[in-house]
């Protein structure tokens, strides 16, 4: 069902404004997804793909969606478990290690944190579908 919703949104993206796209997404989810049982067999790669598709629909540039992709790929390489089982502590530990390994600034780590936060906020609210 989620893949079909993303396909519908992608097809309508060129015909609707961003505000209209968000409203369409809300209506579709409200009417089609609430009766469907929650799926546990969606892979991490599928979640990431749906999130990136949603970001494109929202109007993010290719450069921005690429930054999201790289950030999430690195996270998922280091935390090898299903997304639904990743805890806040797992992410905190990852960010701490990321800063140490890459010797980067707090600003860079905060950018990575915001990307990760956007991803988890999106799928938990089921707005990426």
Q: What is d(CA 83, CA 20) in angstroms, rounded to the nearest whole number? A: 29
Q: Rounded distance, CA 35 to CA 27, Å?
A: 14
The closest alpha carbon to 75, from 109, 126, 42, belongs to 109
- Looking at residues 87-112, what average pLDDT do you find? 94
Domains of the chain: 43-124 (1.10.150)
- The pLDDT tens digits of the residues spanning 8-66 come to 888 888 888 888 888 888 888 788 765 555 555 788 999 999 999 999 999 999 999 99
């Amino acid at each position: 069902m989620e893949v079909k919703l993303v396909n519908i949104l992608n097809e309508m993206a060129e015909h609707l404004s961003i505000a209209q796209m968000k409203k369409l997404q809300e209506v579709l989810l409200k009417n089609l997804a609430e009766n469907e049982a929650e799926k546990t067999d969606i892979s991490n790669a599928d979640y990431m793909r749906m999130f990136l598709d949603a970001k494109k629909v929202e109007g993010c540039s290719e450069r921005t969606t690429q930054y999201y992709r790289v950030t999430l790929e690195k996270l998922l390489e280091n935390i090898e478990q299903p997304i639904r089982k990743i805890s806040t502590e797992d992410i905190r530990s990852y960010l701490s290690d990321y800063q140490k390994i890459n010797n980067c600034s707090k600003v860079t780590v905060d950018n990575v944190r915001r990307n990760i936060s956007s991803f988890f906020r999106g799928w938990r609210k089921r707005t990426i579908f």
